[in-house]
Amino acid sequence: MGSGVRSVTTTAIALACAAAILSAPGVAYAAPTTPTPIPTPAPTPAPTSPGTKDLEAVRMKLDTLYHDAAAATDAYNLAEERTGKQSAQIVGLAREIVEGKARLDDLRERVGAAARAQYRAGGLPDEAHLMLSDDPREFLDGAGRIRQGDQATKGLLAEMERTQKDLEQYARDAAAQWKKLEANREAKAKAKKKVEERIAAAEKVESELETEEKERLAKLEQQAAHRAQTAWLDSGVLDDAGGSASTQGEKAVRYATAQIGKPYEWGAEGPKTFDCSGLTSQAWAAAGQGIPRTSQEQWKQLDRVAVGAMRPGDLIIYNSDASHVALYIGDGAIIHAPRPGRTVTIAGAGSMPILGVVRPDK
């Protein structure tokens, strides 16, 4: 990995250590013992802030909502990609139909010209005119022209038939692509609605928290990520790792590094905002390697490698449904676009449940 990437990674490790120290659990205080109440009407208790256990439930609820939003975003992106391809195919088929009709019109004109020429010759077929000739040489020359004319006519008719069949096939293909286009438009609209609903629900949960509760929730998130990353590293999964990035991998890492701090936006692929797979697909596009747009298609289509054999530039796919993806930058760290309300950042590669690793280049 290049010196620029190493400096970024070193900074990432330092930040991770600082976060771990700052997010260490504080001292837990027991609730004061309440004396036996005097049998008088009790005042209405003042509302209290949620305890750590309650905030942990909030954290898990938010994780679920944002996970669902990420999965729906992937579905939206896939439908968007397919819609674009199908629209292009329909345009291509329409062009073929227009050109085919022009060819068919030309062939019909040529066949009609031949028929009109025969009519002007007296309506007798060429063979009859030939038989009436008294000149043997004219007879032989005429026989040759008749054979050529007959072959040409048959060729025109055959070409007309092929062109007509092509037009019919183009029309069938266009109808099929239109049907798929409509289906993907519906899927896209459905996915968009789900994304917006899940994000709105998550934002509502967060908006109901007080400032102090939000700070405690952030610490809980940091602690959970730190525990997961520590357990992952302690498993020894990276003991034999250390492969160097390929030339393209270095370029992808440099691109992703330059995006740090830019906001997450679902469905976005730069240059100002990104979702998770928008970031990884654009990073590899900048490296000169086109890859699928969505994390699920990246998981399906790209070559898989063992976690312990990954190198900077590889993509780590997360969750059992492949709903999140990040770019590995080495030393157990990743760059990713986490979720709504967050920015492109560096994190521990093991801070989320890893499904597997894929490599865009060989």
- Name the catalytic one among 17, 67, 129, 276: 276
CB-CB neighbours of 215 under 10 Å: 11
336 is a catalytic site residue: yes
17 is a catalytic site residue: no
Q: Which long-range contacts (CB under 8 A, 24 or more apart) does 91-97 make?
A: 93/170, 93/173, 93/174, 93/177, 94/174, 96/166, 96/170, 97/167, 97/170, 97/171, 97/174
- What's at 100, amino acid-wise? G
CB-CB neighbours of 23 under 10 Å: 18
Separation CA 81–CA 301 (nearest Å):
15
- Name the catalytic one among 17, 129, 226, 336: 336
Provide the β-strand partners of residue 316: 326, 357
CB-CB neighbours of 162 under 10 Å: 14
Six token digits for residue 73: 């975003």
226 is a catalytic site residue: no
Beta strands per DSSP E along the chain: 303-305, 315-318, 324-330, 333-336, 345-348, 354-359
Contact criterion met (CB below 8 Å) for 111 and 156: yes
Rg (CA), the chain: 35
CB-CB neighbours of 288 under 10 Å: 11
Separation CA 139–CA 131 (nearest Å):
8
Residues recognised as catalytic: 276, 324, 336
